[in-house]
Structure 1
Amino acid sequence: MRLYGVGVGPGDPELITLKALKVIKDSDVVVVPYTSSMLTYNAIKDYLKDKEVIRFNLPIRRNREDYKKLSDQISSYDKVAYVTLGDPAFYSSFYRLAEFLEPYEVVPGVTSFSWCSAFHKIPIVLGRENVLISTEYPPTRVDKVIVMKREEKMGTYCGNSYFTVSILKKQLRVLER
């Protein structure tokens, strides 16, 4: 059995990557977290013809037993695509499920902040600027940090959990509107 965490972007079917489509089409079953808006399902429904689909009511903060039950339910399939809006690395329940199933692969998707940047024609970061992506403003607590540096500088940061950050003023003006 192989599990795939598949990011399908911000809800626009045209923003699904080619790799995500291939994994969905090649999978034996597609697991779609169920929400009242059905945004995830609606983004991929045209690619689910003749495909077994499991709609699973799985809020991100559910307990481990719920993920264990789902893992037991899907473990008999050869190839399982667990689809999630955006990218599986951002606020997705995928990694809570992956804890119970090996091996797994992650297919990244377009994030909502990348889509927002493109839609408003505002770059997220340029040149030597820094960026913090946070759920609170002003950010008072940072759990993880991503430092993007040239390859020769990476040894300085490996194994640490901190970020260097600044917020783009232009982007804040858009968000405050």
Structure 2
Amino acid sequence: MKIVGVGIGPGDPDLLTLRALNVIKSSDVVVVPTSSRRITYNAVKPYLSDKEVIEFQLPVRGERRVYGDLVDSLKSYNNVAYVTLGDPAFYSSLYRLRQYAEIQQVIPGITSFSWCSSLNRIPIALGKERVLITPSPLLESGADTYVYMKGEVEGGIKCGNGYFTVTIKRSTQGV
């Protein structure tokens, strides 16, 4: 069994990379995490006409055995595409599978923060600027750019001189 992690970007089918599209088309089965199923599934749906799709309910914290159960259920397939929103390297469930099976390949996708940067025509960093990507505010880090993901910023973000904020909630295109 060959498992390939496929980042599908922010949820717009037009933003799938060619490599992601080719892996999905050549797979025997596509695994779709159900916590984001509507967005994830809709982004790849145009390419699934003859594919078997397995919905995978992401576990609550600490219940990692379900990844082993998922791997067991995939053993009859040769080519498995495990699709994730954004890029598999950022806050993805893909790497939880490593305890149970080898991930043969990972196809990167467009991250939500790259997508938001592009939508607003604002660079994430220029020159030697430092970037911090975190699920919660850490303003004392000394970074030039902060990207807060997966968390709530209580009361907004206080900015010093020369700084501004762009707040985007649920940046996925498929919503």
TM-score band, normalised by shorter chain: 0.7 to 0.9
1:166 and 2:158 aligned? no
Structure-1 separation of matches of 2:53 and 2:139: 39
The Cα of 1:103 is off from its aligned counterpart by 4.7
The Cα of 1:139 is off from its aligned counterpart by 5.1
Task: Output aligned runs, 1:59-138, within 5 Å.
Answer: 59=59, 61=61, 63-138=63-138
- Cα RMSD of the aligned pairs, angstroms, is 2.3
SS in 1 for 2:100: coil
- 1:7–1:127 CA distance, 2 compared to 1 (3 A): same
- 1:108–1:136 CA distance, 2 compared to 1 (3 A): same
User: In structure 2, what residue type is equivalent to 1:27?
Assistant: S
Assess if the C-alpha contact under 8 Å between 2:5 and 2:103 holds in 1. Answer: no
Count of residue correspondences: 154
Structure-2 separation of matches of 1:61 and 1:68: 15
- The gaps in structure 1 that reach 5 residues or longer are 143-163
Partner of 1:58: 58
Assess if the C-alpha contact under 8 Å between 2:9 and 2:16 holds in 1. Answer: yes
Structure-1 separation of matches of 2:130 and 2:102: 35
The Cα of 1:64 is off from its aligned counterpart by 2.0
Deviations 1:35-94 (A, max 9, x none): 366110011100101111101111473522110000100022111000000011111110
Structure-2 separation of matches of 1:96 and 1:4: 13
SS in 1 for 2:165: helix
In the superposition, the TM-score normalised over structure 1's length comes to 0.79
- The gaps in structure 2 that reach 5 residues or longer are 147-158, 169-175
The Cα of 1:134 is off from its aligned counterpart by 1.2
Deviations 1:122-156 (A, max 9, x none): 0000011111111111357x9xxxxxxxxxxxxxx
Assess if the C-alpha contact under 8 Å between 2:59 and 2:66 holds in 1. Answer: no
Partner of 2:167: 175
SS in 2 for 1:132: strand
SS in 2 for 1:46: helix
Structure-2 separation of matches of 1:64 and 1:130: 34
